[in-house]
Amino acid sequence: MPRPSFRGSGAPEHAADEALRRPQTVLQQVFLDHLAEHGVGVAGGWELQELAEDGEGVSAGVADVDSGERRTVRAAYVLGTDGGSSTTRRLAGIDREGDHATEKRLRLIVRTGDISDRVGPAPSATNIVFNHRASGFLAAVSPREWRVYAGPYPLEPTEDELLAIGRAAFGFDLDLELVSATTFYHATRIATTFRKGRILLAGDAAHVRTPGGNLGEGIGDVANLGWKLAAVLAGHAPDALLDSYDQERRPHNWRVADHSLERSRRSQAALAEIRAGGIPDDADLGDAAVRRRAEIGERLRRDHSGGAGVTLDERYDASDVIWYEDGQLASEPGWRPDVYEDDPRPGHRAPDCRIDPHGSTLHDRIGTSFALLVLTGDPTGRPAEDSTEDPTGRPAGDSAGEPAGRPAEDLIRDRAVVDAFTREAASRSLPLTVIHLTDPDARAVYGAAHVLIRPDQHVAWRGAVLPDGGARAVLDRVLGRARSGAAAQALGAVPAQRVL
């Protein structure tokens, strides 16, 4: 991924940070450490057996898997993140839709010895393997641990069979240790709703799909739901705000799932065709083998189109809590898995960028609160600057509170918008960060003087001046206190389960 900068940006800009591959065990430790910092206890070894909801909360009946001891846990909400065979989903009575799988596949983690002489000290994170025994990804998750895809298998394979597939993926003989084997399927199974009363689903409990493309949808789920649940529990928003979680995430999950399943089917057809045409042995360096490898490479390049849209175009275009612009939903280009362009319109993720010489990004500066981006577009062409407002609405470190060199009417207009949002947020005890960017390229990217960005980095509203009803009307809609007429119209025209 490129590392973009607003200044002088002539090419499409996709991400402010490089893509990183990390094993789930590392992420789990990060989560546990973070919970410990906040004094949140984690108890393992308990099985969920019952759920009972009432007007005040949910009672969860759990049992110790070793002793059989039973307890009841009381909570305001239950979030089921318990995998594809989710007990939470079953107890809530939520069905699933989509294509069933006919074959089981396995995702292996294998451990090697020191093979740096063959793969280098920093091995490639992603390798596409096509030969007579193996196909799919060979992905390095550390210098000595690798992810290998194997299958299909009609029955449970032995460990020796799995290790044989692992060796075939590497393409040379080596000693392997099987660390883990996780089942997955080429199929799409998505819950009919991600919310039923006080029970919500996220991750594989909500959507299971063929691997490929963006593997971060579970994290996207909790980024979307997390701030909404926090706003409801803090009294900033009504319970109705949680309905938008299903409105926004489920159509996005369908887009990615449909793309992944179709790409998987294309890959399997290509693999069959390649194998039928013959795959040269690695040791064969003759002219015919070289030509055949070139043919195979060209076929793979043709079939594996880019996935920029799958990875980065996470848009919400049928939501009650987005202030869409007039005509926006009818005029937007359709979502494509292979195309992404920075789009600052409401419902899209806010384009990110490094905003200071120290490497901080706009998303870093937004943090975990709402943010009002003030794009002054200073005609003097000064370098990009930013400042964070205090609750009075005055930029920190600027006694006058106004960037220099701008027309007085623009300053008055900007101050009116900033003051309106800061006063309204303060009246609700709603955390709000105000960020000034004076880089004219930033203004060109965002196309408006003011942009309200949600804690999950999605644009909620943008404009030069406030709409009728002012900042109160905007925040009421964004927090689920007012229904969006534009969204209601869109939901009436587009099926809620798929927005393609």
* pLDDT of 10 higher than 70: no
Give the separation between CA 330 and CA 334, rounded to whole angstroms.
10
Q: What is the pLDDT of residue 500?
A: 29
Find all residues with CB under 8 Å of 141, minimum gap 6, and list them: 21, 22, 23, 109, 147
* pLDDT of 317 higher than 90: yes
Banded model confidence at residue 309, pLDDT cuts 50, 70, 90: confident
Q: Residues 70-95: what's their mean pLDDT?
A: 95
Q: What is the pLDDT of residue 315?
A: 94
The per-residue b/e assignment along 137-174, b for 16 or more CB within 10 angstroms, e otherwise, is bbbbbeeebbbbbbbeeeeebeeeebbbbbbbbbbeee
Find all residues with CB under 8 Å of 33, minimum gap 6, and list them: none
Please name the amino acid found at residue 310. V
Low-confidence winner among 402-416, 418-432, 439-453 (lowest mean pLDDT): 402-416
Q: Residues 408-418: what's their mean pLDDT?
A: 80
Residue 305 burial (CB count, 10 A): 14
Q: What is the pLDDT of residue 377?
A: 54
Give the separation between CA 282 and CA 271, rounded to whole angstroms.
17
Place of tokens 């609405």: 393
Domain architecture of the chain: domains with CATH: 104-185 (3.30.9.10), 320-493 (3.40.30.120)
* Residue 112: alpha-carbon gap to chain centroid: 31
Q: Residues 38-64: what's their mean pLDDT?
A: 94
Q: Higher model confidence: residue 159 or residue 18?
A: 159
Find all residues with CB under 8 Å of 171, minimum gap 6, and list them: 129, 131, 282
pLDDT tens-digit series, residues 108-125: 899 999 999 988 888 887
Q: Higher model confidence: residue 271 or residue 45?
A: 45
Low-confidence winner among 17-21, 80-84, 186-190, 336-340 (lowest mean pLDDT): 17-21
Q: What is the pLDDT of residue 266?
A: 81
The answer to whether 184 and 106 are in contact (CB under 8 A) is: yes
Low-confidence winner among 113-117, 224-228, 410-414, 448-452 (lowest mean pLDDT): 410-414
The answer to whether 77 and 198 are in contact (CB under 8 A) is: yes
Q: Higher model confidence: residue 97 or residue 307?
A: 97
Question: Which residue in 250, 198, 224 sits closest to 88, CA to CA?
Answer: 198
* pLDDT of 21 higher than 50: yes
* pLDDT of 437 higher than 60: yes
Q: What is the pLDDT of residue 18?
A: 65
Most confident of 115-119, 256-260, 422-426: 422-426
Percent of the chain with pLDDT over 70: 84
Question: Which residue in 170, 176, 180 sits closest to 112, CA to CA?
Answer: 176
Q: Higher model confidence: residue 324 or residue 153?
A: 324
pLDDT tens-digit series, residues 335-392: 998 888 889 999 999 998 888 777 788 898 988 899 999 997 543 334 334 444 443 3
* pLDDT of 399 higher than 60: no
Backbone angles phi, psi at 80, to 5 degrees: -90, 110
Q: What is the pLDDT of residue 497?
A: 33
Q: What is the pLDDT of residue 223?
A: 95
Q: What is the pLDDT of residue 493?
A: 33
* pLDDT of 32 higher than 90: yes
Banded model confidence at residue 157, pLDDT cuts 50, 70, 90: confident
Give the separation between CA 329 and CA 345, rounded to whole angstroms.
10
Low-confidence winner among 50-64, 265-279, 391-405, 477-491 (lowest mean pLDDT): 391-405
Banded model confidence at residue 463, pLDDT cuts 50, 70, 90: very high
User: H-type helices in 4-142, by residue range?
Assistant: 24-37, 87-92, 116-119
Give the separation between CA 404 and CA 80, rounded to whole angstroms.
51
Give the separation between CA 302 and CA 115, rounded to whole angstroms.
31
* pLDDT of 468 higher than 90: yes
Q: What is the pLDDT of residue 484?
A: 41
pLDDT tens-digit series, residues 271-308: 888 888 888 887 899 999 999 999 988 888 777 666 78
Give the separation between CA 277 and CA 350, rounded to whole angstroms.
47
Low-confidence winner among 44-53, 97-106, 255-264, 374-383 (lowest mean pLDDT): 374-383
* pLDDT of 86 higher than 80: yes
Q: What is the pLDDT of residue 6?
A: 65
Q: What is the pLDDT of residue 402?
A: 42
Q: How is residue 15 written in tokens?
A: 């991400």
Q: Residues 85-96: what's their mean pLDDT?
A: 96
Q: Residues 170-179: what's their mean pLDDT?
A: 91
Q: What is the pLDDT of residue 299?
A: 84
Most confident of 22-31, 184-193, 235-244, 279-288: 235-244
The answer to whether 152 and 104 are in contact (CB under 8 A) is: yes
Q: What is the pLDDT of residue 5?
A: 58
Question: Which residue in 202, 186, 200, 343 sits closest to 267, CA to CA?
Answer: 186
Q: What is the pLDDT of residue 477?
A: 97
For the chain, give the mean pLDDT: 83
